[in-house]
């Protein structure tokens, strides 16, 4: 089985060339979302990694816009909540956790991204990690707007010895677990096979394809075709296989004849798991199997930039001028709002935390519309507003000038008490709105 799947890597190019090009006459674009898990800000060559080679992601960035101040939730659930609902996680009443044995899930009151796109006439397909509820079938992707789903209900570490659970970690198709156990070394390969099949089978209706990779979330896995091939160890092998997968998806779009009318978005869900807990450092996992936040402070689970700022890029031929790089503040909820706008759909009539980026992407406005972004954990920990960011992570105010100090090295709180008071008041206002507390307090 393993040899069969791994060998598919070497025949994909031949298979793709057999696709029949499909003239795209749709007024709205196809949409492809490619979502890495725990990939750090510094893990791609186009974001400065000196050893890991990511030619396909570099090409995607060159052919569209690369965002250098793209922020999201600092771990799995909030980032996926923002993408799928366009809302900060405290607004969404999950009523429980969404990992193994968790009974929570997306309530029916949420108007999910696939629901909005399906309502706009799209075919909707998901491949990979969900993590927004599974115990009840109504929480699964195929009951949240996706026509099809093949993947995992939550993170790939929800199994012994990393997590003490007896819940089987299995691959699902639709509503049913279809494979347990399975070989994680083949996940990226198999997800890529599935993505290409969905692209190949698309008819003349627009399609939405959401590919949520398992990697490079710990425990990291890679196929034999990429093992030992990078210049950056096992972690580098994993990232280069994800890059290969992105290349194969882009090639499939090209061979299908729809590349010119497809909006492609790539990002990571959060920063690298540099501070991995002891439970993860067993069964072959090592500290150096986490990625890099580059020059940014912090990591996954933290509300410093290394936890929330991630690599992100969009390509939309004819709309986004190639080669753009923007340091404007953009948040994951904006992607929800933007994709629905691009599709001609409508969001639900409730509070959405995202902004429509279409005018900015198309060059009709100079700057992205977002002026502030709130960083949540169990409490509201930080706020970025304009050029400033106030962090209450330690319980005491840390104020950073994100223009002169994007790496959060110099606390300006004592020198700027009025700005601290202004941002803290805004944090309290938002915390009251979503029903949680602000971390810490002012002296």
* CA separation, residue 405 to residues 102, 310, 401 (Å): 40, 17, 5
Selecting among 5, 56, 125, 131, the annotated active-site residue is: 131
For 334, the 3-state DSSP assignment is: helix
C-alpha torsion sign, points 258, 364, 328, 120: negative
Nearest residue to 206 via CA among 197, 198, 196, 214: 198
Is 76 a residue of the active site?
A: yes
Tokens 């993947």 found at:
151
Determine the number of helices (DSSP H) and then strands (DSSP E) in the chain. 10, 16
Query: DSSP label at 142?
Result: G
Degrees to nearest 5, angle at CA 380 with 374 and 384: 30
Is 355 a residue of the active site?
A: no
Nearest residue to 34 via CA among 283, 179, 198, 242: 242
Beta-carbon contacts of residue 268 (< 8 Å; ≥ 6 apart): 35, 36, 37, 38, 39, 40, 43, 72, 310, 311, 312
* CA separation, residue 355 to residues 11, 317, 340, 370 (Å): 41, 21, 11, 7
CA 362 to chain centre: 22
Beta-carbon contacts of residue 425 (< 8 Å; ≥ 6 apart): none
Selecting among 76, 299, 355, 391, the annotated active-site residue is: 76
What is d(CA 349, CA 345) in angstroms, rounded to the nearest whole number? 13
Beta-carbon contacts of residue 105 (< 8 Å; ≥ 6 apart): 94, 95, 96, 98, 132, 133, 134, 135, 136, 138, 139
Degrees to nearest 5, angle at CA 378 with 375 and 379: 60
Nearest residue to 16 via CA among 182, 177, 252: 252
Nearest residue to 238 via CA among 225, 262, 221: 221
- In sequence order, the β-bridge partners of residue 34 are 211, 266
What is d(CA 319, CA 316) in angstroms, rounded to the nearest whole number? 6
Is residue 160 exposed (0-12), middle (13-18) or buried (19+ Cβ within 10 Å)? exposed
Catalytic positions, please? 76, 131
């Amino acid at each position: 089985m393993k040899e069969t799947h791994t060998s598919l890597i070497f025949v994909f190019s031949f298979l793709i060339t057999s696709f029949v090009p499909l003239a795209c006459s749709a007024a709205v674009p196809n949409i492809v979302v490619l979502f890495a898990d725990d990939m750090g800000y510094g893990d791609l060559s186009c974001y400065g990694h000196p050893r890991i080679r990511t030619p396909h992601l570099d090409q995607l960035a060159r052919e569209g816009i690369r965002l250098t101040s793209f922020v999201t939730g600092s771990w799995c659930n909030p980032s996926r909540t923002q993408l799928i609902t366009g809302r900060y996680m405290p607004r969404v009443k999950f009523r429980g956790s969404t990992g193994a044995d968790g009974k929570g899930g997306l309530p029916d009151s949420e108007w999910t991204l696939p629901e909005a796109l399906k309502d706009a006439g799209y075919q909707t397909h998901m491949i990979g990690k969900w993590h927004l509820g599974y115990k009840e079938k109504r929480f699964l992707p195929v009951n949240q707007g996706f026509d099809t789903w093949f993947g995992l209900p939550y993170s790939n570490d929800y199994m012994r010895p990393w997590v003490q659970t007896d819940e089987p970690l299995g691959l699902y198709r639709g509503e049913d677990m279809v494979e347990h156990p399975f070989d994680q070394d083949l996940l990226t390969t198999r997800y890529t096979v599935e993505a290409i099949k969905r692209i190949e089978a698309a008819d003349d209706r627009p399609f939405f394809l959401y590919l949520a990779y398992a990697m490079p979330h710990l425990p990291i896995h890679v196929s034999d075709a990429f093992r030992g091939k990078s210049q950056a160890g096992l972690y580098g092998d994993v990232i280069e296989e994800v890059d290969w997968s992105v290349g194969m998806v882009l090639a499939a779009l090209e061979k299908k004849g729809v590349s010119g009318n497809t909006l492609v978005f790539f990002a990571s869900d959060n920063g690298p798991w540099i501070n991995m807990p002891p439970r993860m450092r067993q069964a072959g996992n090592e500290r150096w199997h986490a990625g890099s936040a580059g020059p940014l402070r912090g990591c996954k689970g933290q509300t410093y930039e290394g936890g929330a700022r991630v690599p992100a890029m969009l390509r939309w031929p004819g709309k986004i001028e190639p080669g753009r790089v923007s340091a404007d503040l953009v948040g994951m909820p904006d992607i929800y709002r933007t994709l629905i706008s691009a599709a001609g759909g409508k969001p639900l009539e409730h509070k959405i935390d995202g902004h429509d980026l279409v005018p900015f992407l198309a060059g009709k406005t100079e700057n992205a519309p977002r002026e502030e972004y709130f960083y949540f954990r169990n409490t509201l920990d930080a706020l970025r507003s304009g050029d400033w960011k106030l962090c209450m992570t330690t319980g005491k105010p840390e104020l950073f000038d994100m223009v002169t100090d994007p790496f959060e090295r110099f606390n300006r709180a004592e020198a700027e008490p009025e700005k601290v008071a202004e941002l803290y008041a805004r944090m309290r206002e938002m915390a009251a709105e979503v029903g949680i507390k602000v971390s810490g307090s002012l002296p």
